Structures are given as C-alpha cells and as structure tokens.
C-alpha cells in the first residue's frame, strides 16, 4: 500500500478501516541469498539497498527483539555532515544527501527537519579549529557558516553568553544539519524493504554462525538454522558477541550513552545546539520535549541505563549553557549500548571468512549514518568491493595504521 495525502483523506472518511500492517511477519525460509543479522537502522537500510540498488530478491533481516528495539529507537536523532577527516567527510556528505531524498524514496514521513546545527566555541584556539572544520565541510560540498558571538546571539538569544567558565565566542552553523524521527527511520526502511520482498524476522536471535573451510554457510538462531550465501553482522553494541560466533575479536569496547527528554513544551529551541566543552547538546522534538544528552558514562557497559554522576553532569552543563530550561521537568532518561572503536570511526568491511561482512563501530554517531551505511554495506555485499565513500572504513586499519581519529584523542576506546 502506497501512502499519500489522498489515502489519508479517504481513510479518514471511511473510519480508517483500510490500513494494513506496514510489513509482513514471515517465518524464516530454509535458505537466503543474504542474511542481515540485526534489525536496527543499519541492518534495515542494508537490506533495503541490497534489494533496491542491487536486485537481491531473497534476503532476510534477523532481529532478536522487535524492529527498532536497539539504538535506532534510543538515539537523540541528530543528522549532520560536519566531519573533518577525508574518509569520514565524503561518507557523511553522501549520507546527508540520501537523507534529503529519503522520504520520497521510502514513501514514508521520517520527519527529517533541517533546522540547522550550531556547535559553540569558547576560545580563540577553538575558533581556529572550527574555521578549519568549516572549510573542510565547504570543500566537501556541504555548508558551514562561522558565526561570531553576535551571530550566535541572533539565533540563540537565550544562551548565557557570559558564563565564567566557558564564555561563548561564537559557533559553527551547519544549516543543513538537523534531526529526524528515529523510530520512523526504522519503520520507513522496514516497510520499504518488506515491499521489495525482504523477510523481516523478529524475535529471532542469532546464536551461531556456520563456517566451513573459511566460507560462511548460514546461521543458527532461536528459530532454527538458516542457510545463507552471504551473512552481514550489523548489531551495533552487540558486535563483539556476534563476531565471536565466527571466531573474531573486534577492536570494539561497548559503552553506555544516556539521553533525556522533558515534558512537552511550546516551541523554544529551534536548532540543534551543541556545547562540546560542557559535554551537552539539545534539540526540541516535534512533540515539544527537549531532547538532550552528553557524553558516554566512560566505563564499559551493556546495561541500557547509566549512572547518576553523568545525569548530574549533563543537567549542570545544560543549566550553565541555557538557564531558561531549569524549570522544565525531565520525563525520562535511558541508555543505549555504543560500539566504541579505538579511533571513533566505523567499520564497513568484509572479514577473513568468505561471504561474511561486518558493519559496526558507530560509536555514538550512527543515526545520521543509517542511509549511507546501508548503501555502502549493500554495495560491498553485492559487488565485493568497498564503496568509494566508505573505502577507508577497513577492519584492519588499526593494524596498518590508517586510523581515522576525528577527535585526535588516541587509541583509547572511551575517549572518542
């Protein structure tokens, strides 16, 4: 069923009785041409582009819980293309272009809102670094505007500009940056993949990966064994466990990242604002809640909840930056498990096992990457070659020294 304005009106007139489930609930077949392990954003987009761009017709996505139960439904929805390093820059640029056509492509409203992202800076040195980043964004073909303090004030008059610790010197505005509705991205890709015949199999946990003589043969699951010619591991925070099923040890440490939302308020924050020095960022959802967060909790964790010190730290940073939010009441906080790499950049690559591919290491920035990651992973699985915009995301780059350390913080997993 195609969604359209006309469909909404006619369904409204006739009691909304004609809507069908957005996707089927098939049982697993004995064999697929390609199996994607993990029904998060990246797994679903990989399946969709395998079908759409490469003509695969016999694909399954195996998800241990329900679709969107992982980080894709837990993130703070920021979409941007403001990376600096060659390797990252072209990839996120490609992703943002896919975002801009995504709703039409998927026939689904993902509420992509290019409301502008402002990264604040607080010293002369930081201004230089942001000017340099902005130039690299412009060289990549994306947009960036360096704002001085008065320029920031025009956009964000409610900030405390004179705070003693980090007075605001200016900001880097990325007008095409913004947000999208996270669940809708999962649902939109799921529905579009299903419409192209992809089997989305929920409550199906992969418990083993079958490898014979260095070639992948299929997977063991809680719903039986399934054969496959190609298998992709796309499980974000659980990458180490699933890769271990194929005897691999990954350059990943899993960490918990928390986020928070307040009660719904009238529109007050129009942009995405990030206050890196305070480890705080914020936007306002279309429902009115202020959605905000900070850094990871910093210790390895698989608990989908964090600890109070980081809650306190994020609240303090928010109050420092914009005291006006002090009377908003926090409704909820939660956590998600982040697959942190030693350079903060992702991995989209084949493995030493023929037919087995891996897409992981998204740290806390994998939401914006959902379209391009699926696009490039599908390209790799279908053609055997890395897509040009993802060719630096190699699994062995730590061994060869070709690291992509965007923040320049060194090889400690939790510092990215």
Ligand X SMILES: Cc1cc2nc3c(=O)[nH]c(=O)nc-3n(C[C@H](O)[C@H](O)[C@H](O)COP(=O)(O)OP(=O)(O)OC[C@H]3O[C@@H](n4cnc5c(N)ncnc54)[C@H](O)[C@@H]3O)c2cc1C
Enumerate binding residues for another protein (CB under 8 A).
Answer: 238, 240-241, 249-254, 298-303, 307, 309, 342, 398-399, 411-414
Q: Which does 38 bind (CB under 5 to 8 A by kind): another protein, ligand X, none?
A: ligand X
DSSP β-ladder status, 31-37 and 224-233: parallel
**Does 180 engage in binding with ligand X (CB under 6 A)?**
no
Give the residue, chosen from 205, 253, 316, 405, that forms a contact with ligand X under the rule CB under 6 A: 205
In angstroms, what is the minimal distance from the CB of 6 to ligand X?
Answer: 32
**Does 344 engage in binding with ligand X (CB under 6 A)?**
no
Q: Which does 390 bind (CB under 5 to 8 A by kind): another protein, ligand X, none?
A: none
In angstroms, what is the minimal distance from the CB of 86 to another protein?
Answer: 21
Do 322 and 157 meet the contact criterion of CB atoms below 8 Å apart?
no
In angstroms, what is the minimal distance from the CB of 128 to ligand X?
Answer: 26
**Does 235 engage in binding with ligand X (CB under 6 A)?**
yes
Tokens of 326: 């002090």
Q: Which does 3 bind (CB under 5 to 8 A by kind): ligand X, another protein, none?
A: none
**Does 76 engage in binding with ligand X (CB under 6 A)?**
yes
Q: Which does 62 bind (CB under 5 to 8 A by kind): another protein, ligand X, none?
A: ligand X
Comparing every residue's Cβ against ligand X, the nearest one is 40
In angstroms, what is the minimal distance from the CB of 297 to ligand X?
Answer: 11
Q: Which does 71 bind (CB under 5 to 8 A by kind): ligand X, another protein, none?
A: ligand X
Q: Which does 85 bind (CB under 5 to 8 A by kind): ligand X, another protein, none?
A: none
Q: Which does 191 bind (CB under 5 to 8 A by kind): ligand X, another protein, none?
A: none
> Contact letters (x/-) for ligand X, 115-134, by CB under 6 A?
--------------------
In angstroms, what is the minimal distance from the CB of 369 to ligand X?
Answer: 6
Tokens of 273: 């604002």
Q: Which of residues 20-49 bind ligand X (CB under 6 A)?
A: 37-43
Q: Which does 240 bind (CB under 5 to 8 A by kind): another protein, ligand X, none?
A: another protein
**Beta-carbon-side half-sphere exposure of residue 333 (alpha carbons within 13 Å):** 19
**Does 336 engage in binding with ligand X (CB under 6 A)?**
yes
- Please write down the HEC assignment for all residues of the chain: CCCCHHHHHHHHHCCCCCCCCCCCCCCCCCEEEEEEECCCHHHHHHHHHHHHHHCCCCEEEECCCCCCCCHHHCCCCEECCCCCCCCCHHHHHHHHHHHHCHHHHHCCCCCCECCCEEEEECCHHHHHHHHHHHHHHHHCCCCCEEEEHHHHHHHCCCCCCCCCCCCCCEEEEECCCEECCHHHHHHHHHHHHHHCCCEEECCCCEEEEEEECCEEEEEEECCEEEEEEEEEECCHHHHHHHHHCCCCCCCCEEEEEEEEEEEECCCCCCCEEEEHHHCEEEEECCCCEEEEEEEEEEEECCCCCCCHHHHHHHHHHHHHHCHHHHHCCEEEEEEEEEEECCCCCCEEEECCCECEEEEECCCCCCCCCHHHHHHHHHHHHHHCCCCHHHCCCCCCHHHHCCCCCCCCCCCCHHHC
In angstroms, what is the minimal distance from the CB of 335 to another protein?
Answer: 11
**Does 365 engage in binding with ligand X (CB under 6 A)?**
yes
In angstroms, what is the minimal distance from the CB of 361 to ligand X?
Answer: 9
Q: What is the DSSP letter of 120?
A: E
Based on CB atoms, which residue is closest to ligand X, 92 or 169? 92
Judged by the rule CB under 6 A, the positions of this chain that interact with ligand X are 37-43, 62-65, 69-72, 74-78, 205-206, 234-238, 242, 257, 259, 293, 336, 362, 364-368
């Amino acid at each position: 069923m195609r969604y359209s304005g006309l469909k909404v009106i006619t369904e409204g007139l006739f009691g909304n009785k004609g809507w069908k489930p957005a996707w089927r609930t098939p049982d697993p077949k004995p064999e697929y041409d390609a199996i994607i392990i993990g029904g998060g954003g990246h797994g679903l987009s990989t399946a969709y582009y395998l079908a759409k761009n490469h003509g695969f017709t016999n694909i399954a996505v195996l998800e241990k819980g329900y679709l969107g139960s992982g980080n894709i439904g837990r993130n703070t929805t920021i979409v941007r293309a403001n990376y600096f390093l060659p390797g990252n820059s072209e990839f996120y640029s490609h992703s943002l272009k896919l975002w801009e056509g995504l709703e039409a492509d998927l026939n689904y409203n993902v509420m992509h809102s290019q409301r502008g992202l402002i990264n604040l800076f607080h010293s002369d040195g930081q201004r230089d670094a942001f000017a340099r980043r902005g130039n690299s964004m412009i060289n990549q073909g994306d947009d960036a505007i360096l704002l001085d303090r008065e320029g920031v004030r025009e956009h964000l008059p409610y900030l405390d500009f004179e705070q003693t610790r980090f007075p605001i010197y200016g900001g880097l505005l990325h007008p095409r940056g913004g947000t999208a509705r996270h669940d809708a991205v999962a649902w939109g890709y799921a529905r579009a993949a299903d419409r192209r015949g992809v089997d989305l199999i929920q409550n199906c946990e992969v418990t083993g990966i079958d490898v014979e003589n260095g070639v992948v043969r299929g997977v063991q699951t809680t719903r039986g064994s399934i054969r496959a010619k190609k298998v992709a591991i796309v499980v974000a925070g659980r990458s180490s466990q699933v890769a271990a099923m194929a005897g691999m040890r990954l350059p990943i440490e899993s960490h918990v990242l928390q986020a928070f939302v307040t009660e719904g308020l009238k529109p007050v924050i129009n942009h995405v604002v990030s206050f890196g020095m305070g480890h705080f960022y914020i936007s306002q959802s279309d429902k009115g809640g202020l959605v905000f967060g900070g850094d990871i909790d910093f210790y390895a964790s698989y608990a989908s909840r964090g600890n109070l010190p980081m809650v306190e730290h994020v609240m303090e940073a928010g109050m420092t930056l914009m005291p006006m939010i002090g009377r908003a009441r926090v409704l909820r906080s939660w956590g998600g498990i982040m697959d942190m790499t030693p350079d903060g950049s992702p991995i989209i690559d084949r493995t030493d096992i023929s037919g087995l591919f891996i897409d992981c290491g998204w740290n806390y920035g994998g939401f914006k990457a959902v379209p391009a990651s699926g696009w490039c992973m599908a390209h790799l699985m279908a053609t055997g070659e890395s897509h040009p915009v993802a060719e630096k995301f190699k699994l062995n780059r730590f061994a060869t020294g070709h690291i992509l350390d965007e923040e320049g913080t060194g090889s400690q997993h939790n510092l990215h």
